Amino acid sequence: MAGGKIVEQLPAFYLAWFEFEQPLMPNEIREGQLSVTRDHTGFTDKDSDTQLVANGTFINNLELLPSFGYNRGLQVADKFERRKHDLPELERAHKLEDSQYYTQSDFGAANGFINFKATVTTDESQFAITPGYLQSESVKDGRRTFVYEMDAPILNFYAVLSAELESKKVEHNGVNIEVYYHKNHAWNVDRMIESVQDSIDYFTQAFGPYQHKQLRIIEFPKYRSFAQSFANTVPYSESIGFITDLRDESKIDLPYYVTAHEVAHQWWGHQVSGANVEGSAVISETLSQYSALMVLEKRFGAEKLRKFLKYELDRYLIGRTGEAFEEMPLYKTQSQQYLHYNKGSVVMMAIYDRLGEKRLNDALKAFLNEFQYQSTPYPTTLDLLSYLKQDATQAEQSFIDDQFKYITLYELEMKEVSVTDSVDSDGFYTVTLNVEAAKHRADGQGEETEQPLDELIDIVLFSDDPENLLAEDFVIYSKKHQIVTGTNKIELKVKEKPLFAGVDPFVKLVDKDSTDNLAKF
């Protein structure tokens, strides 16, 4: 780079110091070239490179190219080691209120929106892909070269993939949907395409247009097990979608759900990205969780979400027991996946239950429109909450704060249930339920304080086990009842004799023990 040089290298930490001969002035731009080599020499007994491989390379720019500035990832993370060396407590994220970081995306200081063009060369037998639209493809001397260019700014976060792959392509409402897969892994390709179609349709209607003319899913090897969304490009591990056995319909349709979540990131993460402070993952991950759940609800029905939400609730409860530092309220999550993924799913569906689909989606759409592609500043969860609450009643606002700003925990138990053996003169069975209820607020260390409970909560009667995903039309009665702290006695009249009764059985609240929400007659 002009006007400077490398003055020190620290290979053990993959760091180097670059020093300008003339200081870089505010708003000044200087150009330079970077050259990197990533190769394998010999064999290793551990920590093999699973990103650059012979067939199935998947690597992103943060793993391949140098970045500038302080590397927070190299800090000593263990709190006991930090105390040993008299280091201050590690700041896992910039404070939500620290506005100096509002002009940085949650990817860091140098990862805002960029113009993007890339030339990728690979083996002649392989297909290489990166965000953007294919401009040209050529072969020379056994190497195949692809040129991609994006027609609009994208986040400075992109991936390069290369593998021997088959493809299936369809056009849906002006969007080219493409799935690239290993030739022996075609089983779930149509399911993924169906999810992409359903997701784009729902998100476009709910939040606004999809910003690209193409969406591509690309399989990578199961050395790693996740999927990730880049601009118009979704790398997707074979282990969580392409080789999943979907023949057992009593299980959650993982490829359909994961695909919907990754498509949602084209809105939450790529159209609007959070500031580099606490809570940024709520904007990208929690909102993507909610969006994907809505697609699942439209496809499978609201009752079938119970199993997924119960899993999410259980993962949150397990996660908080293993918290090494401090559990934060959801709106201040600090890279705590059990919060912004697992708890976030339950919280967003609880707010959906309170506000309704149209009001919630309208609020999210207005939030997105306000901050779409904006970097001066990026939004925070404070902005998100203001939109969620702008047309809400005082009770609804208090509920939203309970879910986001506090660690609110419910204890709801279907204590005793009974039903008459026969119908009365009007043809009704009499059902008697006893519900034990309590509400608590916890601090970051798990200490709880009891809160008064006086809320409308679902009471549901079932003709089949709600754990059974194959059950159809099994809800006999479903209505919200005013539940208060202590014992609540409820008497109902129904035409059909129930087999199960539940309090909040569809997991709309963060309950400390969801196993006792159901009781069998």
Domain with CATH 2.60.40 in the chain: 408-520
Looking at residue 256, its pLDDT comes to 97
The H or E element containing residue 8 is strand 4-10
| pLDDT for res 250 | 79
Kindly give, in sequence order, each residue whose CB lies less than 8 Å from that of residue 423, ignoring residues fewer than 6 positions away: 429
Structure tokens at 260: 């919907």
Pairwise CA distance, residues 327 & 376, whole Å: 30
Ranges for all domains in the chain classified under CATH 1.10.390: 280-404
User: Phi and psi (nearest 5°) for 290?
Assistant: -60, -45
DSSP class of residue 188 equals T
- The predicted pLDDT at position 73 comes to 80
**CB under 8 Å to 67, separation ≥6 — which residues?**
108, 110
Nearest CA-CA partner of 64 in 143, 159, 139:
159
Distance CA 41, CA 44 (A): 9
Q: In sequence order, which ranges of 234-356 are alpha helices (DSSP H)?
A: 254-264, 280-281, 287-300, 305-321, 337, 344-355
DSSP string, 237-264: EGGGTTT-----TTS--HHHHHHHHHHH
Class of the CATH domain delimited by 280-404? mainly alpha
In the chain, which residues have pLDDT < 50? none
State how far the Cα of 304 lies from the Cα of 126, in Å rounded to an integer: 41
Residue 225 DSSP one-character state: -
CB 195 within 8 Å of CB 178: no
d(C-alpha 461, C-alpha 354), whole Å: 21
Q: Is the CB of residue 207 less than 8 Å from the CB of residue 361?
A: yes
CATH number among 3.40.50, 1.10.3470, 4.10.240, 2.60.40, domain 408-520: 2.60.40
pLDDT reported for residue 228: 97
Decide: residue 302, CB within 10 A, 0-12 exposed, 13-18 middle, 19+ buried: middle
Nearest Cα to 259, choosing from 212, 348, 214, 197?
Answer: 197
Can you give the pLDDT at residue 494? Answer: 96
**Burial state string for 196-209 with b = 16 or more CB within 10 A and e = fewer than 16:** bbbbbbbbeebbee
Characterise 232 by phi-psi region: left (phi > 0), alpha (psi -120 to 50), beta (else): left
Residues in Cβ contact with 140 at an 8 Å cutoff, skipping those fewer than 6 apart: none
HEC readout, 95-135: CCCCHHHCCCECCECCCCEECCEEEEEEECCCEEECCCEEE
Are the C-beta atoms of 260 and 268 separated by less than 8 Å? no
HSE-up of 34 (CA within 13 Å, CB side)? 9
